[in-house]
Structure 1
Amino acid sequence: MNVSTALRILKKEGYKYTEKREDLVTLFAKEKRYLSARDVLNHMQKNYPGMSVDTIYRNLTLFADLDILEETEWNGEKRYRLSCSTKSHHHHLICLDCGKTLHIETCPMEGIPVGDTEFEVTGHKFEVYGRCGECQAQ
């Protein structure tokens, strides 16, 4: 996902373009890691001092609903990152210190036998948390 694709999705779904929304998506495109709402608010208030946490949460929720952002949770807090542009099925390694992610190309669901259980799997999420090499070195 990139900024222009995200803005095209917003327009296609009937949401208006605003400079603030573009700046928010640009932040995620630049950071390439999971960010909390507080991280986003701190960044956005530099250019928009009156911006509220409610505005941030509304836009983060909207962007997640439109699959512009991916959402996860750790330490009881939701975090967001720009959706992957990779169309192939994959999962992530997530650094708990800096929020950077790495792709895992294999899927652990392939080894879970659900075929004879009359249970239809409609989706799953697999994330591995730890510390990246840069954060370990600090």
Structure 2
Amino acid sequence: MEKQIPAIEHAWHILKEKGYKYTKKREALLFYLAQKNRYLPARKVYDEMSEQFPGYSYDTIYRNLHDFSDLGILEKTDLNGEMQFRFHCQHHGIGEHHHHFICSVCGKTKELDACPMDIFEEQLAGCKIEGHRFEIYGRCEECQ
């Protein structure tokens, strides 16, 4: 495998901590997602991985994507009625709270600095907000 990417190193630390074993297939899957750095549907990930590893089943890839998401390695979103995955931004060096613009065609993302929750906190006095998700969908410059 090529030069180790910090996001992959961090992902392996999490996986080892949770008892997952190293496999070349998992490493290739992580490397592919880190390189793409955009939301991708499981089918596209499967197409790429099955070229590298004939016999790598769709179910195994799908299960790994969900496991990695549950562990906080990947983010997932429902884009055009299909679950899509990408490396969690914290693993790309963006640690601050932020939201995304997501291209509905290619899945490319742009980080947004502003958080609309500030407006809602005033309206929810006495409530404890435990989390939220805010995404804007549209077409990026290349897909218009």
Amino acid at match of 2:57: S
Amino acid at match of 2:65: L
C-alpha distance in 2 between matches for 1:24 and 1:18: 10
Runs of 5+ consecutive residues of structure 2 not aligned to the other structure: 1-5
C-alpha distance in 2 between matches for 1:27 and 1:95: 19
Tell me the matched-pair count: 135
* Alpha-carbon offset, residue 10 of structure 1: 0.5
Q: Deviations over 1:68-88 (max 9, x none)?
A: 000000221100000002111
* Alpha-carbon offset, residue 114 of structure 1: 4.1
C-alpha distance in 2 between matches for 1:104 and 1:75: 21
1:74 and 2:82 matched:
no
1:92 and 2:100 matched:
yes
1:44 and 2:49 matched:
yes
Q: Could you list the runs of 4 or more consecutive aligned residues of structure 1 that deviate by over 3 angstroms after TM superposition?
A: none
Match of 1:16 among 18, 21, 33: 21
* Alpha-carbon offset, residue 121 of structure 1: 1.4
* Alpha-carbon offset, residue 131 of structure 1: 0.6
C-alpha distance in 2 between matches for 1:4 and 1:74: 28
Q: Report what 2:58 is aligned to.
A: 53
3-state SS, counterpart of residue 22 of structure 2: coil
C-alpha distance in 2 between matches for 1:17 and 1:26: 13
TM-score between the two structures when normalised by the length of structure 1: 0.93
Q: Report what 1:25 is aligned to.
A: 30
Q: Is the 8 A contact 2:42 2:61 kept in 1?
A: yes
C-alpha distance in 2 between matches for 1:42 and 1:119: 45
Q: Is the 8 A contact 2:80 2:104 kept in 1?
A: no
C-alpha distance in 2 between matches for 1:100 and 1:59: 21
TM-score between the two structures when normalised by the length of structure 2: 0.89
Amino acid at match of 2:9: S
Runs of 5+ consecutive residues of structure 1 not aligned to the other structure: none
Q: Report what 2:3 is aligned to.
A: none
Percent identical among aligned pairs is 50
CA RMSD of aligned residues (A): 1.2
Match of 1:121 among 110, 129, 132: 129
Q: Report what 1:65 is aligned to.
A: 70
3-state SS, counterpart of residue 41 of structure 1: helix
